[in-house]
Structure 1
Amino acid sequence: MKQFFSVALAAVLITSCVSQNKMNTLTEQEKQEGWELLFDGKTTKGWHTFGKKSISGWTVKDGVLHNSGIGSDSGGDIATDEVYDSFELYLEWKATNESNSGIFYLADEKFSDVIYETGPEYQLLDDKGWPTELSPSQYSGANYDMNPPVGAEVKPLDEFNVTRIIVDGPHVEHWLNGKKVVEYELWSPQWYQDKANSKWAEFPNYGMAKKGRIGLQDHGGLTMFRNIKIRRL
């Protein structure tokens, strides 16, 4: 198992320096460390609607990627053309009033053309403005319906949040605004128990892929993304 002290430090430093870096670009140091951009700030190149070859409903405005703001029937969830196994993902996101979205990982199209049936989801939500009662594993930063976030704090709706997801073999970490809020081990006895007690018990292929695509959800309400980058571990 790799040690993540340097990752934790980097998360804090980058969270505090977001505004100092040019959007949707890599520094020379990031390039040397193996980071790759997943969003060029201008187009949806490198992405497709999960289970399809094309993409629709998503737009790019002023260097920011917008989902349809209506829901999956309009735009659909999108996924990277590339697949990944062990990686560190970084992105910034901003919710709008009562918006509901997510980030998927290890999503595999051979299992289903519905992304949430295959890959774990890092939940994104208007936590403070959501109109109905939420369960602990439905708040931003959660491994949706599996692991609730601990100590998670979202920013006001007019500010971008910083997310990091680390997948190193079975080891997974969710970071939100410089703080680790979820940590779990895929395919462990505890994971299988948690799955059996969740909505994913009905989906045998959920979380079973050892490698897969990164996905962004178009579920309801507008959510925006920028500075999406990844490095393989």
Structure 2
Amino acid sequence: MAKLDLADSGISSDDNKLTAAEKEEGWKLLFNGKNYKGWMCSNGKKIAAPIENGALVPYKSGGYLIVYDKEFSDFKFKCDVKMPEECNSGIFFRVGDLKDPVQSGFEAQVLSRKGTGMHDFGAIYDLVAPSENRASAPGEWTHVEITCQGPHISVAVNGKVVAKLNADEWTVPGKRLDGTGHKFKAAVKDFPRKGYIGFQDHGHKVWYKNVKLLEL
């Protein structure tokens, strides 16, 4: 078997491992970089997509999402994502119903287009636009961190918070704080505050590594 060229893959020997500091703080490694232990498709099927050079791949997985098999409520979550020239994916979190993830959870948008709209990289999808688009160039890794604590949600990209909301303030179904419409049938304040975390297959190749979570 040919030896994996870590330089070409963008994977280093330190990837998909907890640092000593992370272990001390109580972080959990959700993806081991070798197999899909602890992961499944949101429809309950076994994940069909192979691991690629130490990265998790939602594309052609067999389900709308690849999800970790445990629910979380308050947490800090982080991962690195690499996109090709054309990419549409997302990091779903607090998904309360795997049969309807779009309407029962939040999504941090992953998209290769440069922009700062409700559907661009770093947005809390269809709710809060990112203050800036900090995604790395195609083929380079972007670091994403999501924090959920009670009603407070934030998304940070490459070390800077770009989108946040207080769910308790979002009291009207289908309406943003400024009165414009969004796609969700429920008021954001009524979204589940515990649920699954997963990565979306939206028809494009995308890679995720260093998937870690700290329960708060």
Q: Taking structure 1 as the reference length, what is the TM-score of the superposition?
A: 0.79
Q: Quote the Cα distance in structure 2 between the aligned partners of 1:21 and 1:90.
A: 18
Which whole-Å CA distance do the structure 1 matches of 2:46 and 2:190 have between them?
A: 24
Gap change, CA 1:94 and 1:220, over 3 Å in 2: same
Q: Return the alpha-carbon distance in structure 2 between the equivalents of residues 19 and 75 of structure 1.
A: 26
More helix by percentage:
1
Residue among 96, 102, 111 paired with 1:108 = 96
Q: Name the residue aligned to 1:157.
A: 138
1:57, distance to aligned residue in structure 2 (A)? 3.1
State the partner residue of 1:220.
203
RMSD: 2.5
Q: Taking structure 1 as reference, are residues 149 and 135 closer, same or farther at Cα in structure 2, changes over 3 Å only?
A: closer
Counterpart CA distance in 2 for 1:78 and 1:212 is 14
**TM-score normalized with structure 2 length:** 0.85
Count residues with an aligned counterpart: 204
The question of whether the paired residues in 1 share the 8 Å contact of 2:116 and 2:131 is answered with no
Q: Mind listing any 5+ residue stretches in structure 2 that lack a counterpart?
A: 1-9
Equivalent position of 2:55 in the other structure: 64
Identify if the C-alpha distance between structure 1 residues 21 and 173 changes in structure 2 by more than 3 Å, giving closer, same or farther.
Answer: farther
Listed one character per residue, the Cα deviations across residues 170-211 of structure 1 (whole Å, up to 9, x for unaligned) are 11110001111001111324675418710113x579961121
In the other structure, the counterpart of 1:194 is 176
Residue 110 of structure 2 corresponds to residue 124 of structure 1: yes
Whether the aligned pair in 1 keeps the contact of 2:154 and 2:164 (CA below 8 Å) is yes
Q: Which whole-Å CA distance do the structure 2 matches of 1:126 and 1:101 have between them?
A: 9
The runs of at least 4 consecutive aligned structure 1 residues that moved more than 3 Å come to: 18-21, 189-193, 203-207
**CA distance 1:135–1:174, shift in 2 (3 Å):** closer
Could you tell me which of 56, 60, 67 is aligned with 1:79?
67
- 2:193 equivalent in structure 1: 210
Measured against aligned partners, the alpha-carbon deviations of 1:78-121 in whole angstroms (never above 9, x if no partner) come to: 11111111000010001112210000111012xx5131121110
The percentage of counterpart residues that share the same residue type is: 30
- CA change 1:80–1:20 in 2 (3 A) is closer
Whether 1:174 aligns to 2:155 is yes
Alpha-carbon distance between aligned partners in 2 of 1:167 and 1:33, rounded to the nearest angstrom? 17
Q: Which has the higher contact order (CA 8 A, sep 6+)?
A: 1
1:97 partner SS? coil
Shift in CA distance, 155/108, structure 1 to aligned 2, threshold 3 Å: same
